[in-house]
Amino acid sequence: MEEKSNSLIQGVIIICSIFTLVAGFLVSYVLYFNKRKNRHYQEKKDMEALFSSELLKTQFETREEALTQISEELHDHIGQLLSSTKMLLGITERSIAQPPATLLTAQETLGKAIQDIRGLSKALNREWLDLFNIIDNLQAEAARINAGQSVSVNLEVPSYNLPLDSNTQIILFRIIQETLQNSIKHAGADHIDISISAKDGLTVIVKDDGSGFNVDEALHNGIGLGNIRRRAKAIGGEVNIISAPGEGTSTTIRLHKTQSI
Amino acid sequence: MAEVLALLVALATLTSPRSGWWRFFTLFMALTLGVEITGFYVHYILNRPNNYNVFVPFMLVEACFYTLILYKFLDTVNLRRWLLAGFGAFLLVYIFDLAGTNFMSYSSTSRISLSVFVVLFSCIYYRRLLQGTVLLQPLKYPPFWVVTGLFFFYFGTIVVFCFRSQLIRLPDKGANVRLFLLGALNWILYLSWSIAFIWKRSQIRLSKAS
């Protein structure tokens, strides 16, 4: 009887231990597969981020290549044609004893057009922009727009160079360029203020006195603002746009950390 | 002791209104402790060998509470329906089992069916956890610890309750083994729950800070 009860107790303890071990094994299995699943999702996420970054890089390079081609075309072809025309006008002016005022005005206008095209060609050319830092390039861009005399651009920049790599500088410059174009073309602004401060990262504020717009609607319908945001994100930044119809627009670009693409 | 520890941890971690329905754990732990003390009092102080009339009604409270827990942790409507159906099935077994013994003895069949119910839905919970697309660290996830405690306890106690009638026939050794095994599994259950409460508190603090 004693032996029987002992074997029953032993049996219960052994079976209970086996059940507990099986439970432990099942929980370990869940933990192990969850770890594998997490690793798989993390790898997938990393790959998606890498793909997105590569895609953006390709888009950026393609765009820069297209802009450089346009710049070269403007400089080498149209610029040359205009220069030849200006030269011919000069020859005509010198061959006439009393050249008409319209000829002189045409020559002056043509000279201005040649200058504008040179400026635009430089603003579009990546290789040219790479020769200078973003502040020099922005000053040149502001001067180019101010030369048109229809819009005035005021630039407030720090006196020291910004610690940005070449790609980040170009992307940031393109973002500011696109913002300026939006202010001039779409908002019909008369005055644009650009300020750059390098406290706690880098902050660029572009403020205009244009017609303004509904930001929510523009974000859903427009492509330009989406492009600006995507590009800012690619260099580790964010864009905040404050605007309302009739109240101008303020675009703030913040780079917390710079990241190369 | 394990119940006291879990109750103290629950009181220290889950009393904030931000704990939501998790505050029911405090109530449940207090109720569990009350039932254990009453059972002890009936058995050892009043010297009545059977204290089933304390534990059998409490089994229903346990089943309701575990159904609530699993209902909250399972994320699809379909699984929740199955859970309620499972609870309904347990209820039927419980009523028939009690009616069969004229409410005069401990109902091992009900206890085993509760164990099967909890173990089955714990496995379904684990399956859902592995199927989920959210990156999750189970060891820092309170529901995982709650379900793991339940899973260990009810999986282990299936054996104890299957052999209950044989063990009862061995007055000294049988009772000791039963108490030892249930005690050990109790510690696993309530330690797991205590860890869950601590992680829950940490989550609440983090969400408060952010």
Q: Do the Cβ atoms of A34 and B130 come within 8 Å?
A: yes
Interface test with A, best of B145, B162, B170, B188 (most A CBs within 10 A): B170
* Confidence (pLDDT) at A261: 47
Q: Give how far A220 is from chain B: nearest CA, Å.
A: 28
Beta bridge pairs of residue A155: A194
* Per-residue model confidence as pLDDT tens digits over B71-120: 999 888 999 999 999 999 999 998 888 887 766 666 778 888 999 999 99
Buried b (16+ CB within 10 A) or exposed e, B30-53: eebeebbeebeebeeeeeeeebbb
B145 to chain A: closest CA residue: A27
In this prediction, residue A222 has a pLDDT band, given cuts at 50, 70 and 90, of low
Q: Which of A230, A221, A222 is nearest to A253 (CA)?
A: A230
Model ipTM value: 0.76
* Per-residue model confidence as pLDDT tens digits over B20-69: 888 898 999 999 999 888 888 887 777 776 777 778 888 899 999 999 99
Give me the half-sphere count of Cα atoms (radius 13 Å) on the Cβ side of residue A230: 13
Q: Do the Cβ atoms of B139 and A22 come within 8 Å?
A: no
Instruction: Examine the pLDDT at A99 and tell me if it is beyond 90.
Output: no
Interface test with B, best of A6, A7, A19 (most B CBs within 10 A): A19
How many whole angstroms separate alpha carbon A244 and alpha carbon A252? Answer: 15
Beta bridge pairs of residue A253: A204, A239
